[in-house]
């Protein structure tokens, strides 16, 4: 089976990165992730990401360069092909999410304190390397 193609936004504000906790009842509830979602057929990754962020967080973003793309196998589930893009807000910061129960602006050097979804660990490591 082909991996699930997912895009996520590493939204930065200076040294801080928007980190989101998946709400109860969802896949991987309680784990932290970068907001985003599945790419639909015929959609570019950048367009999918802007759409997901508008739907989920109600804000607009500029989508920049690809930061990390990693395929993670999952026991008993479809592998996840997660592409994380460097992003900036285009206007207001989000205050709530349809998919998350907590939004945190975390300094890069403290990202390791959160319990990240497994698929996000490579992107977190890339950010942390950049910071050292
Ligand atoms: N959005 C997002 N999903 C991630 C990340 N890491 C990770 O393993 N996932 C997984 C969780 C889900 O199984 C899948 C994406 O699902 P989703 O629920 O966010 O996507 P969606 O909004 O398009 O889905 P839906 O609720 O509309 O069905 O990828 C991440 O950093 N961001």
* Portion of the chain with pLDDT greater than 70, in percent: 99
User: Among the atoms of ligand 1, which is closest to the Cα of residue 8?
Assistant: 32
Mean pLDDT (whole number) for 72-84: 94
Do 62 and 90 meet the contact criterion of CB atoms below 8 Å apart? yes
The predicted model scores a pTM of: 0.94
Do 7 and 36 meet the contact criterion of CB atoms below 8 Å apart? yes
The pLDDT tens digits for 6-46 are 999 999 999 999 999 999 998 889 999 999 999 999 999 99
Q: What is the CATH number of the domain that holds 20?
A: 3.90.79.10
Residues with CB under 6 A from ligand 1: 6, 8, 27-28, 33-38, 52, 80, 82, 117, 119-120
3-state secondary structure at position 38: strand
Band the pLDDT of 130: cuts 50, 70, 90: confident
**How many angstroms is it from 37 CA to the middle of ligand 1?**
4
Q: Quick one: which H or E segment has residue 125?
A: helix 121-131
Residue of minimum CA distance from atom 3 in ligand 1 = 37
Pocket test for ligand 1, best of 4, 21, 23, 37 (most atoms within 8 A of CB): 37
Total domains, the chain: 1
Segments forming the whole domain that contains residue 12: 4-131
Complex ipTM: 0.91
Q: Quick one: which H or E segment has residue 129?
A: helix 121-131
Chain-wide mean pLDDT for the chain?
96
Closest-CA residue to 68 (of 117, 128, 123, 125): 123
User: Among the atoms of ligand 1, which is closest to the Cα of residue 119?
Assistant: 8
Tell me which of 1 and 59 has the higher pLDDT.
59
């Amino acid at each position: 089976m082909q991996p699930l193609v997912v895009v996520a936004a590493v939204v930065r504000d200076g040294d801080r990165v928007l980190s989101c906790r998946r709400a109860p009842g969802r896949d991987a509830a309680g784990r932290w992730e970068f907001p985003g979602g599945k790419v639909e057929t015929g959609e570019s990754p950048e367009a999918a990401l802007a759409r997901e962020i508008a739907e989920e967080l109600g804000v607009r973003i500029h989508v920049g360069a690809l930061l990390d793309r990693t395929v993670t196998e999952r026991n008993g589930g479809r592998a996840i092909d997660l592409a994380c893009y460097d992003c900036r807000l285009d206007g207001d910061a989000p205050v709530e999410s349809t998919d998350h129960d907590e939004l945190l602006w975390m300094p890069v050097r403290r990202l390791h304190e959160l319990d990240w979804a497994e698929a996000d660990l490579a992107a977190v490591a890339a950010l942390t390397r950049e910071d050292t």
